[in-house]
Amino acid sequence: MSIPLTQYWRLLRRYLRPQGPKVLLLGILLLTGIGLQLYYPTVLQRFIDQAGAGTPGLRLLALAALFLGLAIANQLLALWATYLGQEIGWRATNELRAELTEHLLGLDLSYHKDRTAGEMIERIDGDVTPLANFFSAFVVQVAANALLLAGVLAVLYTVDWRAGLALSGFAALHLTVLLRTRHSAMPGWQASRQASSQFFGYLGERLAGLEEIRANGAEHAVRLGFVQALRTRLQAELKAGRGMAIMLVVSFGLLAVGTSTAFGVGLALVRAGAISVGTAYMIFFYTEQLRRPTEQIVQQMQDLARAGASISRIGDLLAMRSTLAVHGEGAPLPDGPLALAVDRLTFGYIPGVPVLENLSFALKPGEVLGVRGRTGIGKSTLARLVARLYDPVGGSIRLGGVDVRSVRLADLRRRVGVVTQEVQIFRGTLRDNLTLFDATVADSRIWAALDELGLREWAASLPNGLDTELASGGGLSAGEAQLLAFARVFLKDPGLVILDEASSRLDPVTEQRLEQAIDRLLLGRTAILIAHRLSTLRRAGQVLSLQSGPEEVVAG
Amino acid sequence: MKPWRTVLRLLAYRPWLVAACFLSWVLISLTPTGLGLVARSFFNALSGSAPALDSLWLLAVLPVAVQSGRLLVTWLSVPVSVLQRFTVSALLTTNMLEQILRRPGARALPGSTGDAISRFRDDADAVALFASMITVISAVAEALSAGVTLGLMLHINAFVTVAAVLPLVGVMIVAKAAGQRIGRYRDRSRTAAARVTGMLGEIFTMVPALKLAGAEANVAGHLRRLGDQRRAHAVQDSLFTELLRSVYLNTANLGTGLVLLLAAGSMRSGTFTVGDFALFAAYVGRLAGFTGVVGDLLASYKQMGVSLRRMQALLEDAPAVALAAHSPLYLDTPLPERHRRSLQPEERLNRLEVEDLTYEYPDSGRGVRGATFTLTRGTLTVITGRVGSGKSTLLRALLGLLPAQGGAVHWNGRVVDHPGSFFQPPISSYTPQVPVLFSATLKENILLGLPEAEADLAGAVHAAVLEQDVAGLEKRLETEVGARGVKLSGGQVQRTAAARMFVREPELLVFDDLSSALDEETEEKLWERLRARKETTCLAVSHRPAVLEAADQILLMSQGRVEMIGTAPQLLAASDEFRAILEGDRTH
């Protein structure tokens, strides 16, 4: 399995460029550190030779003190570099997480249908987290260690060309072998990431459905699936472990060859009278010093394998394109209520199995259409097509005279407001739950929307007003959640409103509270009301009855 | 329970794996000590302080031999260490799941699913990492080989040894003092991380809504803000750990420096040889490395403790030992057949009495107070009332999906002690207002582990008015329904959940507003078929006139209390509220 290096490079460039100065500083720090590491073995060499030659104690003490000072300076540099690396890594991965999330949200629903939220957490957080090191440490570390390696060899050449040559040979062997074994850990890591994302996908779904599991006595089925997922995970972990073991064994083996090389070279050169014992020790020390870059490189290689698996998975995600055929070029939608023209619309989720077939109808600006039919007949599908969550297989939908496929998606979604029967309340402030994180919405507008729905008193009674944190699921009843969903649409001020069974979870008394609000929402707007209850449809000027056969539009 | 006790329990689960890991690491960590001895002999021979040996060349190749042994041990130990670590993490996750499956279903998790996943994944991993060869096992092995190393040094030159080791003691004191902070920083950084995963989880459960609202970019912006908080805490957390580690590493160089200072005199006089110096330089590094290991161990112990607490918090009131309980994992043996609970004759439903049942949500203070009613075999009891009046809460508290705070439930006159495990098939079955389906086939979603041979699948599908929908699906009952059943319509999801309930043929059927996603025609058919089944007893939330009229008794709820009980005509005569509900739906 090989990972295209261009993919690495593109990611690096994209997410490191905004942090240019930091990356530069980090590079300088690491280079300085290398300089220090190259310098201090020469201090040791002088110490040994001068001690052997009977140099006065004061000179020796000065050398020892110099060594200490250099060591401490080196550590401070390393700390600073760590801090910078962490900052860079987190900033880059946070950006990547956010962009991935946005990208995935941009994919059409057919992608999301097959994925659990737990699996998505794994793919966005689980896959991106190992990249932190890849952004912050990998390039600088590999570069720094390569430089250190080169530096050590250069110093050795100046000591004695034969020592330089022997250890260059060793270093070349080292790199070749490492590069050869670089990918041995990849398949294992990939399998392990895959198994882990499936495992947590399974778990996440079950944790979300605990109520049903308990009340229907399905605990045993959950255990069974859990054990199966565990076993798959163990097999993948073992495979990953074997890949890692290869890399460990290779790196330790090379280390031993290096030590023996240093001994051999030192022995031969001292015997030949070409170098002193101190210099022989220095050669040994440098070779030992190769140990840290070696271990670092192996560590980085493992991270690389990990990052490689993640990068190819992230690459796959980023390469996915929405199946919505044409992206809107930005044809403007007219202001005010929007006309809607549906012409010979055909659509099915599975090729050859149409849900809607040859459906045509037209609404003038400000008109209200009711849609009814039995469940599963395609009422909600119609809403999704108008809001362009899907593209039709045949026919067209025109909004304000413009084909929805040529309108910019953001524009379309701003002008089409949909309330569905399922409303999610997430952990966050009431304000965020209403504006969906749009910081440009003024508080006065939020209060006005709450007023329309008679929710002002309720909101004002919350401990921190709009800033009250709602729990996940909200601790709100389905009905209250529904009212909040209406408030979301009020804030958008759309030209076309689609209410998809929007009040089916409300009891009739609460529903009546909504009546006035719905009346105001529909005022000066085109609307589609989807309901299986006739009573909801009384506002409709015309009613569309969806059946498995030809559709009919009845003037109400 | 102290974290170390939990770790010991976890290690004791598979002692042989732990022993194998320990032994491997002792061998691995003694190799550098052996190589130090080789280096000493080599340099002594080279500098002439020991008789020049013809075996010098032998010494030169010795490192390769010593390392080969290490390689073999490494190669053999990796699968063992993977298995050991995996076993610990599997044990933790299994125990967590087991505890959660025992909790009241509607209150099983204190936070979001994403947050729980973060504890299942990151916190379990953190503890498993600690209780593995990578952390605690290797640390103990390192201690052993550090002892051997120290012994060798003392043997060569006691004075220089004591001076070289002195800074290491200082480091230990620093590490101890820093412990509190490590825990605090880790706690903050884990909390910030869980907010990010929690948010991601919520984002991907509401994709259609976010797309319809055009909120993709805003959501990404929010995620950036949460990510920024996480970055600040994570950098602080790991920088502090790094700072400590750097102090440990520095002591190695400090030690080498001290050896230089002290050895200067002895080396001139020849009592401390170049070989001794090579050995000391290498061993001081080893010992400082060991101090680093101890420091890391103390730090990761604190961090592991945080993770243990977070996992414990997920389990709320479960006993502390539960997390490390020695439960079977079934990694290589099949899961035992479930012993299916069969209905005892005395459990056949005659009469269900609910008395003063109370549950109030701790955050909002709303819920159900003092609900009292009785239902008998073969009847339909309908709960109605406006939004927020406590209808769903009453069902959940009755079924033990929420822990009742007061009152009692009697089944045929006997008190139900553990409603959560009692109200399960064959006693009862339940469909919540918003049913959850899993990514599996339609059939698996209906059966939920029930053996197909023992179930009347076709009957259940028919009773749930799902047969036409199934016939229209490409792969019939084998169709994958997608995450949360998104490939089905809202009504199909609800009827699948109903089929799930029917196939279990319980004594009592409990529906929470079955009708919200069904059209009138389909719903009527469903009730018709339900009534045709023999002796069904139903408890349902609804405000559909047809259902209310068919009810044997109606509980009218208002502000958490059962306001009135009676048949539709009785309530119609006595309650304005009821009239509003019933007529409200008719007059539009």
Mutate: best of A39, A100, A113, partner B, most B CBs <10 A: A113
Chain B residues inside the 8 Å CB shell of A206? 438
Angle, helices B15-47 vs B138-156, to 10°: value is 30
Contacts of A41 in chain B (CB under 8 A): none
Residue of B nearest to A105 (CA): B216
Cβ separation B588–A249 shorter than 8 A: no
* Average pLDDT score, chain B: 84
Which has more pLDDT, A302 or A438? A438
Q: How confident is the model at residue B587 (pLDDT cuts 50, 70, 90)?
A: very low
Q: Region B225-253: what's the mean pLDDT?
A: 81
Distance CA B565, CA B562 (A): 7
- State the pLDDT at residue A475: 61
- pLDDT tens readout for residues B104-158: 877 778 777 888 888 898 899 999 999 998 889 989 998 999 899 889 988 888 8
Query: pLDDT of A267-279, one tens digit each?
Result: 888 888 888 878 8
From the candidates B84, B109, B204, B398, which should be mutated to test the interface with A, based on the most A CB atoms within 10 A? B204
Average pLDDT (A37-49) is 79
Residue A19 C-alpha from the chain's centroid = 19
Q: How big, in percent rounded to 5, are the helix, strand and coil portions of chain A?
A: 65, 10, 25
Q: Kindly state the average pLDDT of the residues B228-250.
A: 82
Q: Which residue would you say has higher pLDDT here, B357 or A54? A: B357
Grade residue B482 by pLDDT with cuts at 50, 70 and 90. Answer: confident
Q: Rounded to an integer, what distance in angstroms lies between the CA atom of residue B31 and that of residue B27? A: 7
> Does residue B109 belong to the interface with chain A, where contact is any CB pair within 8 Å?
yes
Helix or strand holding residue A356 (H, E) = strand A356-363
What residue type is assigned to position A496 of the chain? L
Mutate one of A532, A537, A548 to test the B interface: name it (highest B CB count within 10 A). A532
> For B544-556, what is the mean pLDDT?
87
pLDDT computed for residue A89 by the predictor = 87
Query: Which residues in chain B (147-186) have CB-CB distances under 8 A to chain A?
Result: none
Look at residues A134, A105, A162, A100 and name the one whose alpha carbon lies nearest to residue A9: A134
Name the residue in chain A with its Cα closest to that of B432.
A212
Collapsed DSSP state (helix, strand, coil) of residue A505: coil
Q: Could you give the CA distance from residue B463 to residue B457 in angstroms, rounded to a whole number?
A: 10
Top mean-pLDDT range of A64-68, B324-328, B510-514, B571-575: B324-328
Q: Do residue A439 and residue B221 have CB atoms under 8 angstroms apart?
A: yes
Residue pLDDT, tens place only, A486-521: 888 888 888 899 988 776 666 676 777 777 778 878
Burial class (CB in 10 A: 0-12, 13-18, 19+), B379: middle
DSSP string, B60-121: HHHHHHHHHHHHHHHHHHHHHHHHHHHHHHHHHHHHHHHHHHHS-GGGS-SS-HHHHHHIII
Nearest Cα to Cα of residue B277 among B303, B248, B256, B254? B256
Out of A245-254, A381-390, A484-493, B10-19, which region has the weakest mean confidence (pLDDT)? A245-254
Residue B81 pLDDT > 90: yes
A47-61, A75-89, A539-553: which is most confident: A75-89
Q: What is the pLDDT of residue A555?
A: 47
What is the mean predicted confidence (pLDDT) over B493-501? 90
Hey, is the C-beta of B438 within 8 angstroms of any chain A C-beta?
yes
What pLDDT score was predicted for residue B252? 66
* Nearest neighbour of B196 by CB, restricted to A125, A472, A488: A125
A314/chain B closest Cα distance in angstroms = 16
CA A501 – CA A202 distance, rounded (Å): 30
Radius of gyration of chain A, Cα coordinates, nearest whole angstrom: 34
Residue with tokens 């390689």: B71
Q: Which of A113, A432, A511 is closest, CB to CB, to B584? A: A511
pLDDT value at residue A504: 64
- Tell me the C-alpha to C-alpha distance, in Å, between residue B41 and each of A421, B54, B58, B74, B360: 82, 12, 11, 26, 78
Q: Are strands A394-399 and A340-347 parallel, antiparallel or unpaired?
A: antiparallel
Tell me the nearest-neighbour CA distance from B28 into chain A, angstroms.
11
Which of A108-117, B40-49, B79-88, B554-563 is predicted most confidently? B79-88
- The beta-carbon neighbor of A227 closest among B79, B120, B335 is B335
B139-172 burial, b for 16+ CB within 10 Å, e for fewer? bebbeebbeebbebbeebbeebbebbbebbeebe
Residue B58: the pLDDT is: 77
**Closest chain A residue to B482, measured at CA:** A114
User: Could you tell me if B382 and B527 are in contact, meaning their C-beta atoms sit under 8 angstroms apart?
Assistant: no
Which residue from A minimizes the CA distance to B253?
A71
**Contacting residues of B for A376, CB less than 8 Å apart:** 469, 472, 488-489, 491-492
The interface residues of chain B toward chain A in range 368-387, judged by CB-CB distance below 8 A, are 384-387
Nearest-angstrom CA–CA distance, B581 and B549: 12
Q: In this complex, is the C-beta atom of B544 within 8 Å of any C-beta atom belonging to chain A?
A: no
Query: How many angstroms separate the Cα of B556 from the Cα of each of A509, B381, B390, B541, B570?
Result: 13, 11, 10, 10, 11
The pLDDT score that the predictor gives to residue B297 is 85
CA B458 to chain centre: 36
Residue A473 DSSP symbol:
T
pLDDT band at B82 (very low <50, low <70, confident <90, very high): very high
Chain A residue nearest residue B56, CA to CA: A267
CB nearest to B274's CB, from A48, A90, A249: A48
- Contact between A202 and A225 under an 8 Å Cβ cutoff? The reply is yes
CA distance B481 to A113: 9
Residue B163 scores a pLDDT above 50: yes
Work out how many CB contacts closer than 8 A connect A with B: 511
Smallest CA–CA distance, residue A520 to chain B, in Å, is 17
Q: Which of A140-149, A459-468, B200-209 shows the lowest mean pLDDT across its residues?
A: A140-149
Instruction: Give the pLDDT of residue A161.
Output: 87
Contact B57, A267 (CB under 8 A): yes
Phi then psi for B383, rounded to 5 degrees?
-100, 130
* pLDDT interval class at A305 (50, 70, 90): low
Residues in chain A with CB shorter than 8 Å from the CB of B217 are 102, 410
The shortest CB-CB distance from A210 to any of B100, B211, B472 is to: B100
Q: Which one has a higher pLDDT value, B509 or A463?
A: B509
**Mutation target among B121, B340, B383 for the A interface, most CBs of A within 10 A:** B121
CA distance B95 to B315: 10
Highest mean pLDDT (candidates A399-403, B8-12, B235-239, B549-553)? B8-12
Question: Residue A556 has what pLDDT?
Answer: 44
Q: Give the pLDDT score at A292.
A: 67
Contact check, Cβ <8 Å, B235/A109: no
DSSP 8-state class, residue A334: P
CB contact under 8 A, A437 and B588: no
Contact B82 A532 (CB under 8 A): no
Which residues of chain B have a CB within 8 Å of the CB of A349?
Answer: 487
Q: Cβ–Cβ of A207/B63 closer than 8 Å?
A: no
Instruction: Give me the mean pLDDT over the B39-55 stretch.
Output: 72
Higher pLDDT, residue A178 or B522: B522
* B13 confidence band (pLDDT: 50, 70, 90): very high
What is the ipTM for the molecules in this complex?
A: 0.84
Q: Map tokens 């890391």 to a residue.
A: B296
Residues in chain A: 556
The phi, psi pair for A404, rounded to 5°, reads -60, -25
Q: Which residues of A484-519 are buried (b: 16+ CB within 10 A; e: fewer)?
A: bbbbbbbbbebbbbbbbbbbbbbbbbbbbbbeebbe
Residue B428 and residue A90: Cβ atoms within 8 Å? no
pLDDT at A1: 39
Beta-bridge partner residues of B561? B558
Per-residue confidence band for B250, with pLDDT thresholds at 50, 70 and 90: low
pTM: 0.71
Contact in structure between A212 and B436 (CB atoms under 8 Å): yes
- What letter does residue A468 receive in the DSSP assignment? P
Question: What distance lies between CA B521 and its chain's CA centroid?
Answer: 43
Q: Is the pLDDT of residue B53 over 70?
A: no
Per-residue model confidence as pLDDT tens digits over A153-193? 888 888 888 888 888 888 788 777 876 776 677 778 778 88
Q: Residue A373 pLDDT > 70, yes or no?
A: yes
In the predicted structure, residue A234 carries a pLDDT above the cut 70: yes
- Tell me which residue of A199, A212, A86 sits closest to A137, measured CA to CA: A86
CA distance A261 to chain B (A): 8
Could you give all domains of chain A from N- to C-terminal order, each with its CATH number? 5-319 (1.20.1560.10), 340-555 (3.40.50.300)
Tell me the backbone φ, ψ of residue B410, rounded to 5 degrees.
Answer: -115, 130
Determine which helix (DSSP H) or strand (DSSP E) holds B578, and give its type and residue range: helix B576-587
Q: Does B58 touch chain A (CB under 8 A)?
A: no
Given an 8 Å threshold on Cβ–Cβ distance, is B105 in contact with A270?
A: no
Q: Do residues B226 and A93 lie in contact, with contact meaning Cβ atoms separated by under 8 Å?
A: no
Instruction: Evaluate if residue A472 carries a pLDDT over 80.
Output: no
Radius of gyration of chain B (CA): 34
Contact list in B for residue A221 (CB cut-off 8 A) is 447-450
